[in-house]
Structure 1
């Protein structure tokens, strides 16, 4: 048994190499830093430099890129020609390659000092060794994950290493693909590149997917500083697939507001929301939007969760609460109610603001787009009706449009004083979403008379204006661009309503 070892991460390595040397009588050949470490652990090994008669060049940039090294990894032992060439060149086959790479991914999350720092953390020889060993997995075992040392030792004890070589190969190719994708994405300046690569690391198995019969895992992006899976979770109950999905939507919504704000999410749609002078008041008003739908939902705040907020929540059934930090007494109070999952999302709001792309899987491919990171340009709004809005009404319109932006289309919302009164979400007909927003407010005992509304896209017909006018809604903001814009303007003037045109549409599917 001959083993080549070249690792950056050395956890578990001493025990593994000691096992290989003593139990398997393995000949261990290691690169400089690894060989020095093993020598310190009193584990016998030969250095690559001495054994293969190669020198480290260019500050270690070249050390394992040797014809002899790769001959011993890549030779096909079942091929007589390969065996003959190996004998002629003094190549003795390697049976195992243990390699992990310079910490580009880890340092990428922490942040590089500069471009040069990033470049010097790109591993060349290690990636090449891994790919060579993985290609020849029928004869060579390749280990890239220290967590696999125990499994390999157990398998070797039972004499079944051959059956483990393919799973190790699969992990190895995944590891190098991930590594390269993180490098590519770190240096990428083209928003829409010709070659799109993604790499994610398995974080945890979830209880199930959207439904109990579906398997699900959470994966993190190693190229960013913090993911939603890094949020501190205070709970006796595991976060579910749907919890994480709703929590991500909630974060994307509450980062839109500068004032203390609360949003309540249910089935990936907002069902309540408000801005106020204090987080507790925003939470109270948001919950009043639709208490029925808020049952078992997610409460999200963009401020630290204090004791006043905890008092508003009381004994309400809430699946998840998330905020950028909790006051100690509030946290202990919230924990008294079993079943709640409490997330501290400190640092995640900055990551959400920095997101550069969104994508969805489709049959045989991927839909990739830049994020919808605006609501409307206030200075470019068009006041197209005879009746003009007050400054407060414009503020409320933009507030309502922010909620429709984060609601499944077709979506309309009614608001007053930066408080959602009713939301019509995910309707196939825009006028049905309009009716639903009014009905939701009515069920909750909230009066829409004098309030304003927002639509995520333009009105294809005047029926939404007619319906809101009948309910007493004072005005509406919508993106312009419909063939019937003039008809809609005419309807607003007939009804004495305010109509404002915005310059961005906000479909969400």
Structure 2
């Protein structure tokens, strides 16, 4: 663009002058403000000019010999400054003499705070308010020899709200002035004297905060385009709306399935403003650019959860136009602001008010969020239809939303984040942090391990977890007893661990819990006095348990690939047990075998659990050979192994584990069976009079 030279005249505060200078600089426009002139030596306009580094000239009217003398000095000032391209009046309170107006025909513009010809002259805002009109506005016009009678270049309406005050209306008017004046100046200087208003397309299902946002845009001079129910709501709220069908010349059809799918909409979204070919095509096709899109989608995710919804009803919740608008706007993010989240309305409006635009970094973030929302919707549709049609999809897609950045990962040098399932309740929504700092990456893993095991146990029960493995598990007649017995299972390892409890914690139990360092305590609830006691520990976290529901599927990353499996939800079924030689199990043995086999599911393989009276006495985890885990568990149990039961998550490949169990006095063993040496294993059990149960169900955990 060719460089242009302008002069600004003003008599008062100069807010329009400053807005022009700021926008010229922000947009790096090739405009030189030669100087700002005032007829008032005390005008605040001059202070603004000094602060902005713009030269100023003053011819104080009160010091002139006469009006003619003053006008002659002003005329000479303009002549001496030639050549210049435009004289901008910004609150200049004197009528220019005819000689100046005639000499500089269509080179002088003025901005007036009303919709001319209504309320010309002074105090236009106050006049409009007193007249009781519902709409006033801003006019930019060429200056002629009359008072505010020159040809109109642009007008923007401003709604006068019920109870509007003079100061609030002035603020609205000024916001529009500051946005509009520079736009018109640009259009004049570079050949198009009909300025294009900024345009926003609003079409939403979630109408939260929409009316306030639209009203704010309108007050800034934006034209609001809208559809259907959104347009109706905005009109009811007093926002001036242009229906989309007025833009497209095409009505909404197919019961609303086709509303915005039209070249005049998508051309306005996808045009690159700096591409001359694009601009020429817009002109040829009478398409106006669209600068902002606010869209959110039909509530498909919520609809999919409704029972007894037919296929026909469900597919009507699949949005077509919304995602198409969002993708187009997000693709052209340098030109178009795209909003898919009502929480972004206020910050976007604030940027538009203060900066007149939205910065590139914010546009990028909004575009990314937009594509995320489109992807999330597509994934929800894919998953829902796959389940509904009972088809196994060829591709696996997941959608998770960022909850927070964690302090670090598994180790301090690793970054980590927590994401929640976008469609189903996950771990992060199953608990509430009542006290303490945020959970770490390792904390989340341990909490998950604790709750997974706790879900297997009847109340009252206690689980102590360390490094993703249980180190003490027990049931009891009371929750206090359950905790005491779980702690007794391995008091050394319990230090610094996580405790999961499935009943309310009272003050007495809280005092006992405080006797050792426990990093996290999870329970359905805490009495007020118990919570007060537990919060005395500075590094303690208290979590309220909302749900013990477990996911139906489990995902594991595999060098960038994924492994997917069903959750191991199987429970011990005594009807399927094979008991060696039909030995008779006592009630206590049967109870302990159920308990131990439930616990061993949650121990890393190779996994061994020694239990008695529904309390773990020793746990062997993560060894590369099974007899190694057996030895660890039995050594931990010591004398308590006598008369206890032993559970194994997998079969015994050799009889050595049974031989070792016999030395410690184990009374009964429960294991899947299935080894090629089962006969040797069973024979060893017979030899040592150990009862042996084969479940046929393995519980490896890696």
What is the TM-score when the length of structure 1 is the normalising length?
Answer: 0.89
- Specify every segment of 5 or more residues in structure 2 that has no aligned partner in the other structure, as ranges: 1-197
Structure 1 residues 261 and 192, CA gap change in structure 2 (3 angstroms) = farther
1:161 to 359, 367, 371: 359
Per the alignment, residue 21 of structure 1 pairs with: 218
Alpha-carbon distance in 2 for matches of 1:422, 1:158: 68
Question: How many equivalent residue pairs?
Answer: 499
**1:351-370 map, 5 Å:** 351-352=549-550, 355-370=551-566
CA contact (8 A) 1:386 1:493 kept: no
Which stretch shifts more, 3-12 or 476-485? Answer: 3-12
Per the alignment, residue 487 of structure 1 pairs with: 680
**1:122-137 map, 5 Å:** 122-137=318-333
CA contact (8 A) 1:298 1:320 kept: yes
Deviations 1:296-325 (A, max 9, x none): 111112223334432432432111111222
**1:414-453 map, 5 Å:** 414-442=610-638, 447-453=640-646
Per the alignment, residue 506 of structure 1 pairs with: 699
Alpha-carbon distance in 1 for matches of 2:676, 2:430: 47
Per the alignment, residue 170 of structure 1 pairs with: 368
Per the alignment, residue 6 of structure 1 pairs with: 203
Per the alignment, residue 251 of structure 1 pairs with: 451
Alpha-carbon distance in 1 for matches of 2:552, 2:582: 40
Alpha-carbon distance in 1 for matches of 2:365, 2:573: 53
Deviations 1:130-179 (A, max 9, x none): 12222333533322223334554566517663454333322211111112
CA contact (8 A) 1:262 1:279 kept: yes
2:382 to 184, 191, 200: 184
Q: How far is the alpha carbon of 1:487 from its aligned partner?
A: 1.4
CA contact (8 A) 2:511 2:534 kept: no
Q: Partner of 1:493: helix, strand, or coil?
A: helix
Structure 1 residues 338 and 362, CA gap change in structure 2 (3 angstroms) = same
Asked if 1:235 is matched to 2:435, the reply is yes
Per the alignment, residue 295 of structure 1 pairs with: 495
Alpha-carbon distance in 1 for matches of 2:391, 2:581: 39
1:476 to 669, 682, 685: 669
2:400 to 200, 212, 219: 200
Per the alignment, residue 315 of structure 1 pairs with: 515
Deviations 1:83-123 (A, max 9, x none): 55444432222222221223344666xx5354257555443
Asked if 1:407 is matched to 2:600, the reply is no
Q: How far is the alpha carbon of 1:195 from its aligned partner?
A: 2.4
Q: Partner of 1:321: helix, strand, or coil?
A: strand
Deviations 1:352-373 (A, max 9, x none): 2xx2100011113110011100
Per the alignment, residue 342 of structure 1 pairs with: 542
Structure 1 residues 379 and 218, CA gap change in structure 2 (3 angstroms) = same
CA contact (8 A) 1:203 1:229 kept: no
1:378 to 566, 571, 574: 574
CA contact (8 A) 2:436 2:542 kept: no
Q: Partner of 1:202: helix, strand, or coil?
A: strand
Alpha-carbon distance in 1 for matches of 2:227, 2:572: 58
Per the alignment, residue 73 of structure 2 pairs with: none
Alpha-carbon distance in 2 for matches of 1:225, 1:106: 13
Alpha-carbon distance in 2 for matches of 1:417, 1:120: 57
Q: Partner of 1:115: helix, strand, or coil?
A: coil
Per the alignment, residue 55 of structure 1 pairs with: 251
Which stretch shifts more, 484-493 or 33-42? Answer: 33-42
CA contact (8 A) 1:414 1:454 kept: yes
Please tell me the root mean square deviation across aligned C-alpha atoms, in Å. Answer: 2.6
2:344 to 148, 157, 177: 148
Q: Partner of 1:342: helix, strand, or coil?
A: strand
- Specify every segment of 5 or more residues in structure 1 that has no aligned partner in the other structure, as ranges: none
Higher RCO (CA 8 Å, separation ≥ 6 residues): 1
Q: Partner of 1:469: helix, strand, or coil?
A: helix
Q: Partner of 1:368: helix, strand, or coil?
A: strand
Which stretch shifts more, 336-345 or 184-193? Answer: 184-193
Deviations 1:258-281 (A, max 9, x none): 342111111111111111222221
CA contact (8 A) 1:386 1:498 kept: no
Alpha-carbon distance in 1 for matches of 2:391, 2:628: 37
Alpha-carbon distance in 2 for matches of 1:63, 1:224: 32
Which stretch shifts more, 60-69 or 313-322? Answer: 60-69
Q: How far is the alpha carbon of 1:184 from its aligned partner?
A: 3.1
Per the alignment, residue 689 of structure 2 pairs with: 496
Per the alignment, residue 486 of structure 2 pairs with: 286
Which stretch shifts more, 252-261 or 227-236? Answer: 227-236
Structure 1 residues 422 and 338, CA gap change in structure 2 (3 angstroms) = same
Structure 1 residues 383 and 246, CA gap change in structure 2 (3 angstroms) = same
Q: Partner of 1:447: helix, strand, or coil?
A: helix
2:309 to 115, 121, 126: 115
Q: How far is the alpha carbon of 1:40 from its aligned partner?
A: 4.6
Which stretch shifts more, 157-166 or 450-459? Answer: 157-166
Q: How far is the alpha carbon of 1:339 from its aligned partner?
A: 2.2
**1:89-104 map, 5 Å:** 89-104=285-300
What is the TM-score when the length of structure 2 is the normalising length?
Answer: 0.66
Q: How far is the alpha carbon of 1:374 from its aligned partner?
A: 0.9
Alpha-carbon distance in 1 for matches of 2:317, 2:253: 16
Bigger radius of gyration, 1 or 2? 2
Which stretch shifts more, 182-191 or 431-440? Answer: 182-191
Q: How far is the alpha carbon of 1:408 from its aligned partner?
A: 0.9
Deviations 1:241-296 (A, max 9, x none): 22222112211111112342111111111111111222221111111111111111
CA contact (8 A) 1:235 1:339 kept: no
